[in-house]
């Protein structure tokens, strides 16, 4: 089912809230080179973040590298010509346009959401430094986007994942 059909179906249900969590990127089936370069930057950030936060011999790290990242890399690089098996990740701005175009409005997230996200990040990143708003050193960072309508998790200067909430208008 196409994204537009899905969004129309969801909107017709008139849900109170729709939560969208999306890996940030632009890995749609275009030319191999552009897909490769975008994926290289994204997965390099993912592996760098693991390197800084989990010991090399960690079973948790091995599981993430093999079971998740390895499979994702294979899918992105080996998609079929029609693109049916290629994971499609879009940037937040693309999703914002889609959601608004299908009758949804972004909800402003509470300040408690940001506090909780930063607390969870601090709990999980005991090996690496946390980057707070405005600081330039490495590590993870949590920040709001789109006038506090989205929260993103980033690694250094790379946005990795974004969560947003939407309502029907």
* 123-151: average pLDDT: 71
> What pLDDT, on a 0 to 100 scale, did the predictor assign at position 26?
64
Span 131-143, pLDDT tens digits = 555 544 458 889 9
Q: Which helix (H) or strand (E) holds 25?
A: none
d(CA 5, CA 78): 26
Highest-confidence segment of 20-29, 47-56, 125-134, 145-154: 145-154
- Percent of residues, the chain, with pLDDT higher than 70: 81
3-state SS, residue 21:
strand
d(CA 42, CA 159): 9
3-state SS, residue 70:
helix
Average pLDDT value for the chain: 83
Given a contact cutoff of 8 angstroms between Cβ atoms, the answer to whether 73 and 145 are in contact is no
d(CA 136, CA 116): 22
> What pLDDT, on a 0 to 100 scale, did the predictor assign at position 129?
53
Q: Encoding tokens for residue 121?
A: 């990040």
Of 145, 147, 143, nearest to 130 by C-alpha is: 143
* 18-47: average pLDDT: 80
Q: Encoding tokens for residue 37?
A: 């370069």
Phi-psi region at 165: left, alpha or beta (left = phi > 0; alpha = psi -120 to 50): beta
3-state SS, residue 130:
strand
- Percent of residues, the chain, with pLDDT higher than 90: 38
Using CB atoms within 10 A of its CB, is residue 158 exposed (0-12), middle (13-18) or buried (19+)?
middle
Domain ranges of the chain: 1-25+90-169, 27-89
Of 41, 34, 46, 37, nearest to 71 by C-alpha is: 46
Span 45-71, pLDDT tens digits = 888 888 777 888 899 999 999 998 988
Span 73-93, pLDDT tens digits = 887 777 655 555 555 677 888
């Amino acid at each position: 089912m196409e994204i537009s059909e899905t969004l129309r179906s969801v909107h017709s249900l008139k849900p109170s809230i729709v939560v969208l969590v999306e890996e940030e990127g632009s890995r749609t089936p275009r030319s191999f080179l552009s897909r490769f370069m975008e994926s290289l930057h994204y997965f390099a950030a993912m592996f760098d973040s693991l390197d800084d936060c989990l010991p090399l011999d960690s079973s948790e790290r091995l599981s993430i590298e093999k079971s998740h990242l390895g499979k994702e890399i294979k899918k992105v690089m080996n998609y079929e010509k029609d693109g049916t098996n290629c994971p499609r990740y879009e940037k937040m701005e693309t999703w914002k346009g889609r959601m608004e175009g299908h009758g949804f409005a972004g909800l402003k997230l509470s300040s408690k959401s940001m506090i909780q996200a930063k607390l969870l990040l601090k709990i999980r990143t005991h090996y690496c430094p946390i980057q707070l708003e405005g600081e330039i050193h490495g590590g993870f960072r949590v920040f709001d986007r789109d006038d506090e309508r989205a929260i993103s998790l980033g690694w250094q200067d790379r946005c990795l994942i974004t969560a947003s909430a939407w309502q029907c208008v």
